[in-house]
Amino acid sequence: QQQVKQSPQSLIVQKGGISIINCAYENTAFDYFPWYQQFPGKGPALLIAIRPDVSEKKEGRFTISFNKSAKQFSLHIMDSQPGDSATYFCAARKETSGSRLTFGEGTQLTVNP
């Protein structure tokens, strides 16, 4: 059972463009929503995270938008750069689950020069 669904599976963006990746979740008990970034040959690393008490969080060029009523959240990468080319995973966690995360399927982002 996939509790976090992510789209698109792959995304190609031109340098300077906006990359948008979407996720939807089912379990309303989730209370923490991180995004992880993974480069080839490396493990995923935390990029940015949000809690459902806010609708948006911004860190540099990366922004999470959160819609609690729709049970959706998205990652926006502004001014996308070739160095942003990586696989991005959304995830969700319940307070009662310790640090256990449920991951989306992943999105392979390619930013062309």
Partner 1 sequence: DAGVIQSPRHEVTEMGQEVTLRCKPISGHNSLFWYRQTMMRGLELLIYFNNNVPIDDSGMPEDRFSAKMPNASFSTLKIQPSEPRDSAVYFCASSLAMGVRTLHFGNGTRLTVT
Which residues contribute to the site for partner 1 (CB under 8 A)?
34, 41-46, 89, 93, 98-106
Judged by CB, which is closer to partner 1: 41, or 83? 41
Q: What phi and psi, each to the nearest 5 degrees, are found at residue 97?
A: -100, 20
Q: How far is the CB of 14 from partner 1 (least distance, A)?
A: 25
Shortest distance, position 103 Cβ to partner 1, whole Å: 4
Between 74 and 107, whose beta carbon lies closer to partner 1? 107
Contact 100, 1 (CB under 8 A): no
* Phi, psi dihedrals of residue 86, rounded to the nearest 5°: -175, 180
Both tokens assigned to 35? 């995004």
